[in-house]
Amino acid sequence: MASLGLAATGLGLMYFTTTAAAAADGISNVSNLSGGVGVSGIDGTAGGGVDEATSKTQELEDLLLDAGFDGGAVEEEDVGGTDPEEALSTVVPTFTSTHVPTYSPTLAPVEPTPTASPSMSPILLEAPAKLLSTTLYPVADAWLEYNDTLPRGSKKYLKVDGVDPRASLLKFNLSSIIDDVRSADDIVGFMLRLYSITNGPFGGKIDLLDGDCNDWDEYTISWTNAPKCIFRNNSDYLVGRFEEEVPAHEWNEAVIFPNFDGDNDGALPSLITLRVSSNYPDGITYASRENVTASPELVVYYTEPAPTASPTNAVPSEGPTRAPSFSPMVPTPTMSPLKAPTGNPTDFPTYFPTTIAPTDNGTKYPSMSPSATPPSIILPVSQDAMLRGGEFSNSRYGRDPFVTLHDERKAILEFDLSDANPNVVYEYTLQFFVTYVAENEVRSVTASHVTEQDYVWSDFDVTWENFGSPALEEIGWFSIFRDDAESLVEIPLGKLSNSTIIGNRLILVLETRAEESGRDKFDFRAKEYSEEFPGMMDTPPTLIGVPVLE
């Protein structure tokens, strides 16, 4: 399985985010390995304000009601915290959330239910569900740097970067709340909180790794010895993203919606690993769990199991009964200056990423009638070629049945997007069939797109020399593994709506971070493969677009 690692977009090239400062302002950001920039460009803006407070609050109420929560205050408990032993070198102002939803029941008349006789009958009285929150701290965290053999899990910081690629891993133990949560359906949402030591253009995208990817040790793991699953990528892994333009010395919050259906049949797992990555070349540094005054936090919001209903005898009322309706009142947040980083949120945030949370039907999109759902698009490559430098810089390879990536070789792929509905936002995935992989276990590939609107080329005569140096924007990076040979791999590219700026054409350029020894070489089938080998399965590079319903 190929795995994406983003640079301006993150390992999987998709993200969404929220920060503490956004609690008052609102958020609307959705993006993927692409977004405004392509596989990882972040296409979305944070906005909102006081005028949006009512709608944001209503969104929260609707979400909680859908989750089965119909009243009550939020209670919080800390699990696994540590006593501070040292303070950060800089004392900075931090955001302290003070808004806790309070629900004021209003009286609404309900038509009385007539009774046939004055006899008393049992009525089941159910107490409203209660929203609880628990703060968990990582049991392990580490960051990995591209092709590095050095374990970095003992550092007091975590790094996220696109060039050179750096990714951070955080392992959380959920076993302490399993007794309180009957199933994953009782989870209303999660919030990952990281304290930024430096500023950066993007806080990173957040992936939930497979359940078989929790067997790593923070004191020994490095890029070169990490399990393959650490680099594995799938569009289903994306669960959230932090904001763009992250400031230094602040808590950053990202609402995330993990889907546990795949590994545990809906049950809550005891361990999870979150991966934070970015496609931006200017990375960001967060405090790790070794920095005890600003350790990462995972806040879990869940509903208390409803108490068993107990029958009671009551005489039916002769007049109208009163049904409560909830009117949340959210006070304005206040700033608490000159405090060491702290904060224990007790209310589920009233802002949400524009990415749609998973629904009861198991998808991340709401149920709609077939006629209302735009169709997906499947776009075979219209042109492809290998470019080879050095003494072969004037050689043409656009008619070869295979495209090879290694050392001074790159691939250029063009897709015709004229079939894409200009009014629809798509999540794109690149597919190609890998035919050969050299001896190295893993190799990394960067994906970029041409931004020159008038750039024209032909796979019939293109060479390294005449391809030139058109303006490129990096989308992200992904990994090809040795056991990907003879298989169809999928690379999530995310939203490319703002990358299709060349007359409905998307031109991708793939390059390896290869060694000169040739051990990182790999090939994949070009569109000419079926012409060269009649009767073989036609598997040209293909771009698949799935509509995003917002």
pLDDT surpasses 60 at 321:
no
Q: Tens digits of per-residue pLDDT, 363-397?
A: 333 333 444 577 888 899 999 999 999 899 999 99
pLDDT over 70 at 39, yes or no? no
Nearest to 409 by CA among 455, 464, 356: 464
pLDDT at residue 535, rounded to an integer: 58
288 pLDDT higher than 90:
yes
Q: How confident is the model at residue 486 (pLDDT cuts 50, 70, 90)?
A: confident
CA-to-CA dists, residue 75 to 78, 134, 348, 524, angstroms:
10, 8, 11, 54
Average pLDDT over residues 487-504: 71
State pTM to two decimals: 0.42
Per-residue pLDDT of 418-456, as tens digits, reads: 888 888 888 888 999 999 998 888 888 888 888 887 888
CATH 3.30.2010 given to domain 377-547: no
Percent of the chain topping pLDDT 70: 58
Average pLDDT, the chain: 70
pLDDT band at 21 (very low <50, low <70, confident <90, very high): very low
* Between residues 379 and 236, the one the model is more confident about: 379
**Domain boundaries defined on the chain:** 3-92+129-307, 377-547
Q: What average pLDDT does range 145-170 have in this prediction?
A: 90
Interval 526-535 mean pLDDT: 77
**Which DSSP string do the residues of 158-211 spell out, in sequence order?**
EEEEETTEEEEEEEEE-HHHHTT-SSGGGEEEEEEEEEESS-EEE--EEEE--T
Helices and strands (H, E) in the chain, number of each type: 6, 34
> Span 83-92, mean pLDDT?
37
The position carrying tokens 């998973």 is 358
pLDDT at 1 over 80: no
Give the pLDDT band of residue 265 (cuts 50, 70, 90): low
Closest by CA to 479, choosing from 519, 507, 508, 513, is 513
| 192 touches 262 (CB < 8 A) | no
- Residue 65 sits at the vertex; the CA angle it makes with 64 and 66, to the nearest 5 degrees, is 90
Which residues have a Cβ under 8 Å from the Cβ of 256 and sit 6 or more positions away? 189, 190, 191, 192, 206, 208, 239, 240, 274
